[in-house]
């Protein structure tokens, strides 16, 4: 009896598993097209819907704490190992945008001395603000709890700047709370977005970034 080449064994097993979990649906040009079992598709849809609902619920909680400036409560949502980065614009600058551990954030909230958070778009000057003032300008500058749209893993606000959220935080999930604009005379150039980036710990989403975005030059 011939022995099966050990390098081919994983391929053969994969083919068997695919065959067991697929079914012929229809013929196209004489070829049988296999699709996933309906029950599997439903399960995947339900899992994604549940995940999205959890992320949207946590987003609402986080936005509420931000609006009320309950910084100690907000820190409870931080990722305990990775902390949270604050980005004033859609392009996340990992060298210059402020990153806090939970402890560092709580210390900053207590002292609230001005620090440099990055640089202003179009000016290049330092964003030198206290935490409270930074939140007023670059986190909750509009009422994101009442956003026109809130989506999961979907970029809504788009301007001239590069949005690199997926490159900086691969494999994470984010929500975006978005306003298309406020005054007609600006033709939508006064849009605003706030993206909350989450990484799970034991199934619970934890914040790793708070990314504000707006029209940039």
CATH number of the CATH domain containing 113: 3.10.450
Q: What is the pLDDT of residue 10?
A: 41
Q: How far apart are CA 191 and CA 161, in angstroms?
A: 14
Does residue 112 belong to any structural domain of this protein?
A: yes
- 25 pLDDT exceeds 70? no
Element containing residue 26 per DSSP (H, E): strand 22-28
pLDDT digits (tens, 9 = 90+) for 37-85: 678 888 888 889 999 999 999 999 999 999 999 999 999 999 999 999 9
If one compares 160 and 19, the residue with the highest pLDDT of the two is 160
Identify whether 9 is part of a domain.
no
pLDDT at 47: 86
The chain-wide mean pLDDT, for the chain, equals: 87
Contact 195, 179 (CB under 8 A): no
CA angle 125, 216, 114 (to 5 degrees): 35
- The confidence score (pLDDT) of residue 14 equals 43
pLDDT at 160 over 90: no
Q: Is residue 179 part of a domain?
A: yes
Q: Is residue 19 part of a domain?
A: no
Number of independent structural domains in the chain = 1
pTM, entire model: 0.81
Q: Which domain holds residue 59?
A: 40-214
Q: Is residue 31 part of a domain?
A: no
Nearest-angstrom CA–CA distance, 70 and 61: 11
Query: Is residue 150 one of the residues assigned to a domain?
Result: yes
Q: What is the pLDDT of residue 35?
A: 54
* Residue 111 lies inside a defined structural domain of this protein: yes
Is residue 146 assigned to a domain? yes
User: pLDDT, tens digit, for every residue of 188-201?
Assistant: 999 999 999 999 99
The average pLDDT across 137-163 equals 95
């Amino acid at each position: 009896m011939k022995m099966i080449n050990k390098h081919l064994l994983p391929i053969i097993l994969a083919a068997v598993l695919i065959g067991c979990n697929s079914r012929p649906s229809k013929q196209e040009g004489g070829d049988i097209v296999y699709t996933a079992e309906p029950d599997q598709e439903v399960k995947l849809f339900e899992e994604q819907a549940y995940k999205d609902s959890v992320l949207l619920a946590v987003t609402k909680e986080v936005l509420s704490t931000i609006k009320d400036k309950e910084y100690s409560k907000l820190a409870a949502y931080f990722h305990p190992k990775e902390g949270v980065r604050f980005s004033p614009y859609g392009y996340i600058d990992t060298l210059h945008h402020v990153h806090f551990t939970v402890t560092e954030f709580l210390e900053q909230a207590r002292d609230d001395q001005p620090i440099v958070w990055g640089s202003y778009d179009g000016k290049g000057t330092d964003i030198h603000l206290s935490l409270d003032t930074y939140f007023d300008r670059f986190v909750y500058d509009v009422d994101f709890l009442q956003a026109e749209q809130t989506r999961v893993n979907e970029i809504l606000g788009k301007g001239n700047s590069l949005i690199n959220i997926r490159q900086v935080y691969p494999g994470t999930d984010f929500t975006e709370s978005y306003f298309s604009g406020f005054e007609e005379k600006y033709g939508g150039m006064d849009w605003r977005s706030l993206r909350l980036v989450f990484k799970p710990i034991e199934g619970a989403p934890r914040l790793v970034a708070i990314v504000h975005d707006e029209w940039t030059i």
